[in-house]
A = this chain, B = another copy of it.
Amino acid sequence: MSRSVMVLGGDGFCGWPTALSLSSRGCDVTIIDNLSRRGIDAELQVSSLTPITSMEERLIAWEEVSGKRIAFHNLDIARDYEGLREVLDRRRPEAIVHFAEQRAAPYSMKSPRTKRYTMDNNISATHNLLVALVDLQLDSHLVHLGTMGVYGYDQADTEIPDGYLDVKMPGPGGEWQDRQILFPTTPGSVYHLTKSMDHLMLQFYARNDGLRITDLHQGIVWGTQTEETRKDPRLVNRFDYDGDYGTVLNRFLMQAAIGHPLTVHGCGGQTRAFINIQDTTRCIGIALDNPPCRGERVQIFNQVAETLQVQGLAELVAELTGADIAHVPNPRKEAAKNHLCVSNAGFRSLGFEPILLREQLLEETVEIARHYQARCVEEAIPARSLWTPDNQSGVLEGE
């Protein structure tokens, strides 16, 4: 019998290709999504660069292409606990992949309303899910998407391990004792804050109720297409290039495609971790194949291919496309430069061989950006969401 997997947030940028990838691997996939990402597009008056189709059309296309069915429930798991409980009870999935959270840092910092929405939505979504699993005594393996951003970007010289760090703490006589702690978090936006808070919930429910949980601290995702989404135009994945939802590399690629200079925030000394969307789906497959046992602590993996400074990233894209680079003031409250050293030993030990930025997929993404450039609304590209009022002058002047 095929493995039953529920993908929460399966209409999104990472959720959709993951659902297809799991279906392709023979899993019996159910998508839960309230289509909020499409709603926010409407609110922000932007849309995916790629012309994504409706969920209905997506699922019909997938069945035509693959012969496999994916079930879909339009459900807000943050607000409809009974609906979530009911569908979990009916399906009793072996595994659940949880993407169902507001995932853009700039959107989370846009206004009092979006701060509150991000907090309330993300916390209630994750907590409702945990409560329902306990309530139904379900032993599903829960795979939660976290972010490298929970650690912030001021970790000095310590390599960020897969979650747990060996340290020395003072003992009763002042002597140093060996202990292991969760790597301390220093989230840099309300969005990242919710993921830090999520993680505390995951720890509690694993400890108190024996839930089997994997938390994936993902880098910044780039690219658009995966093996499955390439199979039919109706399966195309989102490509966000706007200042709120567009991740830095995809925004650069879009800017290059339309002949706009690549807008680097500040000096570009920010080091970030990256992963290609295809690898997102691969890593989730690996995580699902390696669940923790009941009673084990939360399993944590850094879902990261490599780290790079934003300036280096811009230079890479400039080299590939001939684009210019423009330095603009940084709307975020963060250090101008930082080191970031991340271990991905956990996934590598399970066979993960990451796609790197210098490989051909970067060219594919440039091609997509060029192909759909007529759909681009140029004024949507600048990042206008300010972390504090002090960041204001900078952005207005810079963009």
Contact = CB atoms under 8 A, between A and B. Distances in A.
Interface of A: 81, 85, 112, 115-116, 119-120, 123-124, 127-128, 131-132, 134-135, 137, 156-159, 165-172, 176-177, 179, 181-182, 184-190, 193, 196-197, 200-201, 203-204, 207-209, 333, 341, 387-389
A187 B135 CA distance: 20
B127 A387 contact: no
5 interchain residue pairs of minimum CB distance: A168-B168, A197-B197, A112-B135, A157-B172, A119-B127
Contacts of A156: 177, 179
Contacts of A182: 184
A165 B177 CA distance: 13
B185 A200 contact: yes
A387 B209 CA distance: 8
A120 B116 contact: no
Contacts of A197: 123, 197, 200-201
Contact of A120 (B123, B135, B196): B123
A123 B112 contact: no
The quantity of this chain's copies bound in the complex is 2
B190 A196 contact: no
Given A156-B179, A158-B169, A197-B201, 17 more contacts: A81-B116, A112-B132, A112-B134, A115-B127, A116-B131, A119-B124, A120-B120, A120-B127, A156-B177, A165-B169, A167-B169, A172-B341, A182-B184, A185-B200, A187-B200, A193-B200, A208-B387
Nearest to A333: B208
A193 B200 CA distance: 7
A120 B124 contact: yes
A355 to B, nearest CB: 26
A130 B185 CA distance: 19
A81 B187 CA distance: 24
Given A119-B127, A158-B169, A167-B169, A193 B184 contact: no
Residue of A131, A166, A190, A204 with most partner-chain B CB within 10 A: A204
Contacts of A167: 167-170, 181
A120 B156 CA distance: 35
A120 B78 CA distance: 10
Contact of A187 (B120, B204, B389): B204
Contact of A181 (B131, B171, B181): B181
Contacts of A207: 186
A121 to B, nearest CB: 11
Nearest to A128: B116
Contacts of A170: 158-159, 165-167
A85 B111 CA distance: 14
A159 to B, nearest CB: 7
Contacts of A128: 116
A203 B207 CA distance: 25
Nearest to A136: B112
A167 B170 CA distance: 7
A230 B166 CA distance: 52
Given A167-B169, A184-B182, A131 B112 contact: yes
